[in-house]
Structure 1
């Protein structure tokens, strides 16, 4: 008697998206294709198109999976603590999926999950008593930091050999403040802030600076200049 065929887990949109996230996590976003995803799921590529219309829809869905990992606000906390907690949770989610920030930046329209997240963050400011005008400017000031990543002035670059002493002295003479900052800053090897600055420290430093400034404006009853 022939043994019964092995029962397969039915293909669903959620299963497709989670497999795509796992593939991008393991091998990088550049490795993601509908063909490779189909192979990973053990189906023919055409089967995927019943659940995602194209690669763009796949990427949108992957963003929504990642944003879905962000913790909800902690009940009973003030607006500043709640905002801080959610942003740091968003940062943790994006750090678990290193490709996600690049995809979020590439989307021309926010996905439903991103819109829901932004709506909830605006709600935290508004329910905390911030005026609509102040909340508007706050969202501009926060920029990409509101969803857990920073668009830094300095971008990552491969480590280079230090310049010869004569050239280093010449550069320091021409750009003394850059040289002073470069030699004084605490660095780690895998930073995106150039030279290896501590990304997490720099992110939280800027976040706290913004939140404290926003709180001062709110307490002062800030209104926009006419």
Structure 2
């Protein structure tokens, strides 16, 4: 039986290496696509919870500020609508978060998977810190004034809810309001740096992997949205 020569063996190894280098990026993209699908499903659950909240609260959004004397600090944190108690705002408990009653319950370990983006960047780790990987659009006026104590904006007051981002991946929400943040890798989850797409939930309830032209902080209302 003919044996492989050293040269033939090296050629085979080289071919395997080339094939692996071609396949690994494809596998990585496939894995990330699955995570993005999970993120979309999470936010569809958030959307359902939000509309259940609307039905029970005269079509008004949840308060901008957590109203509880026991809560200390971060009472206006954009991730406070739902999630677990985080390591940096443990005073904002599960019971205080208004959408939690409509979402899946915590597991026995205290985790709430529906509040965790599967691609939450390790440098951000918002789920561990604040209890949720997702953030509401603080640039949109969810209340009639900025003092946090005014009546919340009603969904019926939004002129074009299919264009108004209500909630979404934290990196997307922050980058939408500040183009400088769009230059940092940690604000991206399911895409590469520079590909400004994030999974976002709109005020009419639909969820889309959305291409965004980041704006300048403070210029709320001047952003362009493209659903793909």
Under TM normalisation by the shorter chain, which class is it? Answer: under 0.3
Structure (1 or 2) with the greater strand fraction: 2
Task: Name whichever structure is richer in helix by fraction.
Answer: 1
Structure with greater contact order relative to length (CA < 8 Å, sep ≥ 6)? 2
Based on CA coordinates, which of the two structures has the bigger radius of gyration? 1
TM-score (norm 1): 0.21
TM-score if structure 2 supplies the norm length? 0.21
